[in-house]
Structure 1
C-alpha cells in the first residue's frame, strides 16, 4: 500500500494562531484593509534638504504638534469626531478619529533651527534643511602614570 506523503504535519498551535489573527483583524476596523490610525507620509531627499509630506485632510495647524530631536522627527495630531453626528448615526465608518503619533528617523542630520512646516490643502509639508557636515575633531590624549 502506497503512503500519501503529507507536505507538512498538522500543527494545532499554528491553526490556533491563524484563527486568533483572523479574529483580531475583525476587531480592529480598517486594519484588514491596510488602514492605519496615522496618516501616510512621503520623505524626499532634495539634496540640500529633506522634505516630508503628510496627508492631513481635515486637520488644522492647531491639531498638529511637531518636534525634532537629533535625527528623529515626531509628528503628533488628533482628528476629532464631528460634534453634530452621534455615534449611532454612522452607517459606515472608515476614517480614523482620535490622537496619533508618528516618529520618523531621518537619514542624516538636519539643522533643527531652520525646520519649517506648512499645512495647506490637506497636506502638511515639512522642510528640513540638512546640517553642515562636521569636520573630524582631534582629541588630545593626556599623559598619566599608566595607559
Structure 2
C-alpha cells in the first residue's frame, strides 16, 4: 500500500519537468524559432562541365520564383502564399513558412552567367550553371625524359 501512496504524492521535479515541456512546446509557434532553417533547402553538386542546384519549393509556382546571378553569387527570391480560405486563428500547428523569402548562395568557382538555365517540375527548381572555361579542370600530359 505504501507504493500506491508514493506514486500519488506530489513530486516537484516531475511537476517542473511537465511544466518545462509545456513551456517549450508552446514556443513552436513563434516565427523567429521557425525560421532557424534556411528556406528553401538546396543541394548543389558538380556535374563536370557545370554546377547543378536543386531547391525544394513546395507550394510555390514557377512564376513566383525570381533568379538573379551576379559573378559567383546566385540569389533566389519568391513568395509562398497562404492557402485561400484558411484563417490564422484556425491553425493548430503551422510548420510550413508563408510569405516572401530570399536565399543567396555563393558558388564554388567562376561561372558562365550568360548560359545559366532553370527548370521547375513537381515543386523542385533545378538550375544548371555552366563553368567558365578557365574554371574547368584541364588534363595535362606529362612528357617522358630522354
TM-score (norm 1): 0.68
Q: Is the CA contact (8 Å cut-off) linking 1:44 and 1:51 kept in structure 2?
A: yes
Could you tell which deviates more after superposition, 82-91 or 123-132?
A: 82-91
Post-superposition offset of 1:31 = 3.0
The residue aligned with 1:109 is: 110
TM-superposed CA distance for 1:86, in Å, is 1.0
Find out whether 1:120 has 2:110 as its counterpart.
no
Partner of 1:12: none
Contact 1:61–1:119 (8 Å) recurs in 2: yes
Higher helix share: 2
Would you identify which runs of 4 or more consecutive aligned residues in structure 1 move more than 4 Å? none
The residue correspondences of 1:44-55 to structure 2 (distance < 5 A) are 44-55=45-56
Cross-structure match for 1:71? 72
TM-superposed deviation, 1:30: 7.9
The aligned counterpart of 1:98 is: 99
Gaps of 5+ in 1: 1-21, 135-147
What TM-score comes out, normalization by structure 2 length? 0.68
Number of matched pairs: 111
**Cα RMSD for the two superposed structures:** 2.5
Distance 1:58 1:31, change over 3 A: same
Query: Taking structure 1 as reference, are residues 37 and 131 closer, same or farther at Cα in structure 2, changes over 3 Å only?
Result: closer
Structure 2 residues without counterparts, runs of 5 or longer: 1-22, 136-146
Structure-2 residue corresponding to 1:133: 134
Distance 1:94 1:37 in 2: 13
Q: How big is the shift at 1:35?
A: 5.4
